[in-house]
Amino acid sequence: LDWIVLDDERPNSWTIRADTDIVGPIVVRYCLEPEGDATRCIHHVTNPRRPSGPSEEQVRGIEAESMAGLASRKRHVEERLRPQAA
């Protein structure tokens, strides 16, 4: 999917959208909350063209893609913050 950033309210939230042929647009809003030494990430998934919520299978697929994307972003941030060898 090609995701487009709709809203970036650092460091509190991030909203993205992908258009799909089958179910139409998917909008995901990530809300970030500090929690001790970590950050809690809560995501809300909507589809403006569907009055009902996503199926369990769709939720699992979105969850898997979200986790993979967040893991990738985490890896990139950690690499940038890692001390460089002399």
Residue 86 has pLDDT above 70, yes or no: no
**pLDDT given at position 85:** 66
| Structural contact between residues 32 and 38, judged by C-beta atoms closer than 8 angstroms | no
Mean pLDDT of the chain: 85
Q: Which of 35, 53, 37 is nearest to 45 (CA)?
A: 53
Helix (H, G, I), strand (E, B) or coil at 4: strand
**Residue of higher predicted confidence among 58 and 57:** 57
pLDDT above 70 as % of the chain? 98
What is the average per-residue pLDDT within 50-56? 76
| Interatomic CA distance for residues 24 and 61, integer angstroms | 16
Give the DSSP per-residue string, 25-61: EEEEEEEEEEETTEEEEEEEEE-TT-SSPPPHHHHHH
| Structural contact between residues 15 and 6, judged by C-beta atoms closer than 8 angstroms | yes
**Residue of higher predicted confidence among 62 and 25:** 25
pTM greater than the 0.85 cutoff: no
